[in-house]
């Protein structure tokens, strides 16, 4: 099985005809993703990459049965694109867009509470279900179908974990890059719950960062409810307090936000904690 996306997902690209949308849609189709069309307001009715273009997400749902959307829309318009997708009934929304204003995401978060949509991102690399579907910008060639689920706040460390798990002979079920912004849709805990419930996922790699409480919340839930081994890593172990490191959400605001504090909580909750990203693959293999 898989979580969020699979080979049957009917994917549209919002911002389809732009440079980013075109490039990554091509990559996604080459991976085997079932892209059924795209949305660019004002260009409805044309074909792009041999797929239909629609003016609205609602039209793509009505005409192509779209259930998944990936968003390559400039940050000023991305919040509206997310809400449009949710309003049209899209089940899984992946927002790649970076730099969406926090005030806009506050509105999006509230808007989604009453709708049956899962948002991944924004400012994220997306989702891959290995050898089935890629919705986002992850490099597909490093993935191999297997038994390990991956959830990460860091795009590049997602790729490192995937590569290590592949080299360890374990492969992946689904990898979810949740994004590093202060306000995101799917949290670490949300993703952990999905992977814990997936019968084909036998172990989980959880990659976090300094800042916020997401990793601690996930760790406490794992302690009480976890049924599979979890390997964890926290990026930013040498980060100074009060200085944002890379992601907008990666800033130490209190004692519990540091890498050391998070790693201590994770160990206390029974998670196998890697001191270095180079240890993740071997540690996961030994934990299974």
Cβ atoms of residues 183 and 123 within 8 Å: no
Question: Cα separations (Å) of 126 from 12, 43, 110?
Answer: 14, 25, 22
What Rg do the C-alpha atoms of the chain give, in angstroms? 18
Q: What angle do CA 282, 210, 143 make, to 5 degrees?
A: 40
Query: How would you class 4 by CB atoms within 10 Å of its CB: exposed for 0-12, middle for 13-18, buried for 19 or more?
Result: buried
What residues pair up with 53 in beta bridges, in sequence order? 38
Single out the residue of 242, 174, 176, 168 nearest to residue 208, CA to CA.
176
DSSP 244-266: --SSTT----SGGGSHHHHHHHH
What residues pair up with 174 in beta bridges, in sequence order? 129
- Tokens encoding 197: 């419930």
Matching residue, tokens 């995101």: 184
- Set 8, 24, 48, 247: catalytic member: 247
48 is catalytic: no
The count of C-alpha atoms lying within 13 angstroms of the C-alpha of 170, restricted to the half-sphere facing its C-beta, is 28
Alpha helix segments (H runs only) across the chain: 19-31, 57-64, 75-87, 102-112, 155-167, 188-197, 214-225, 259-268, 280-287
Q: What is residue 142's DSSP assignment?
A: G
Q: What angle do CA 161, 164, 169 make, to 5 degrees?
A: 125
Cβ atoms of residues 233 and 157 within 8 Å: yes
Helix (H, G, I), strand (E, B) or coil at 230: strand
Catalogue the active-site residues.
247
């Amino acid at each position: 099985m898989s979580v969020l996306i699979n080979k049957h997902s009917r994917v549209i690209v919002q911002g389809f005809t732009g440079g980013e949308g075109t490039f990554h849609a091509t990559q996604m189709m080459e991976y085997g993703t079932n892209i059924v069309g795209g949305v660019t307001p004002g260009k409805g009715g044309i074909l792009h990459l041999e797929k239909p273009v629609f003016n609205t997400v609602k039209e793509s749902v009505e005409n192509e049965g779209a259930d998944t959307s990936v968003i390559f829309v400039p940050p000023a318009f991305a919040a509206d694109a997310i809400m449009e997708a949710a309003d049209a009934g899209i089940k899984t929304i992946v927002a790649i867009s970076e730099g969406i204003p926090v005030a806009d995401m506050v509105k999006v978060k509230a808007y989604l509470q009453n709708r049956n949509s899962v948002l991944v991102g924004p400012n994220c690399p997306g989702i891959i279900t290995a050898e089935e579907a890629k919705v986002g910008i992850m490099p597909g060639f490093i993935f191999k179908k297997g038994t390990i689920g991956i959830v990460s706040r860091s795009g590049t460390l997602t790729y490192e974990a995937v590569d290590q798990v592949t080299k360890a002979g374990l492969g992946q079920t689904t990898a979810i890059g949740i994004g590093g912004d202060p306000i995101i849709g799917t949290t670490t805990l949300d993703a952990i719950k999905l992977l814990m419930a997936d019968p084909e996922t036998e172990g989980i790699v959880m990659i976090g960062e300094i800042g916020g409480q997401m990793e601690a919340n996930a760790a406490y839930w794992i302690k009480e409810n976890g049924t599979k081994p979890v390997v964890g890593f926290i990026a930013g172990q040498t980060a100074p307090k009060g200085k944002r490191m890379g992601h907008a959400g990666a800033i130490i605001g209190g004692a519990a936000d540091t890498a050391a504090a998070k790693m201590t909580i994770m160990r206390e909750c029974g998670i196998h904690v890697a001191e270095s990203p180079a240890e993740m693959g071997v540690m996961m293999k030994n934990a299974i």
